[in-house]
Amino acid sequence: MPGQKIPEQVRREQILNAAMQVALRDGIGAVTVRAVAVQAGLSHALILFHFKRKETLLRALLASLLSTVLAAPVAPSSSRRPALDRLRALVRDEMTRLRAEPARVRLLLDSWALGARHPALREQVTRAWQAYRGAFRPVIEQTLSEHGRLARGASVDGVAAFAVAIVNQCMVQELIDPEGFPRADYASTADAAVGMLLGAAG
């Protein structure tokens, strides 16, 4: 008696999970239709039925990676807590969150390199970073409404990009030099830098 047919969406998720396992183990460059088929225990033809070609599979894998690693952060909410404190907490929380996912961060770095060589993938990565930066804007704007000024030459978009750069550099340096990276000093310096950009002392 033939086995029960697996719904298409469930099968696609199974394939994507296998692709992620290959990427986490061997790097994003190792993700091929054949490698994913072996990992999933499925036929090469079945992978192609669902994803048509390797590039389609890579784009789906990248979308999954970006939606988790670059999930839009939400600032801690408190009507009694100054917005600047919430912005600083948001940056720290993102550093902590990404620290707990070194394998996915390594894949994210791989995706930067891959995007540099493939325009369609670069556009996908670019959109994800734009959305991630945009998630910092509300708490930055709230901070400005409370403090009323930006440091000369700064802008809301620039501060958002700077906050993301702080998070990025933390995850890169900690990934490369986990023993030597001065995390506590970096975090306190980041707090001070964000405050200065937003015209706040302390």
DSSP for 82-114 reads -HHHHHHHHHHHHHHHHHT-HHHHHHHHHHHHH
* Tens-digit pLDDT profile for residues 161-190: 999 999 999 999 998 999 999 999 999 999
Start-end ranges of CATH 1.10.10.60 in the chain?
Answer: 8-66
The segment with the largest mean pLDDT, out of 4-8, 71-75, 79-83, 170-174, is 170-174
Q: How large is the average pLDDT for residues 45-66?
A: 92
pTM of the model: 0.84
Is there a contact between 47 and 57 (Cβ–Cβ < 8 Å)? yes
Candidates 1.10.357, 1.10.3470, 2.60.40, 1.10.3210; correct CATH number of 71-197? 1.10.357
Start-end ranges of CATH 1.10.357 in the chain?
Answer: 71-197
pLDDT attached to residue 1: 39
Q: Look up the CATH superfamily of 8-66.
A: Homeodomain-like (1.10.10.60)
Question: Other C-beta atoms within 10 Å of 134: how many?
Answer: 13
Share of the chain above pLDDT 70, in %: 95
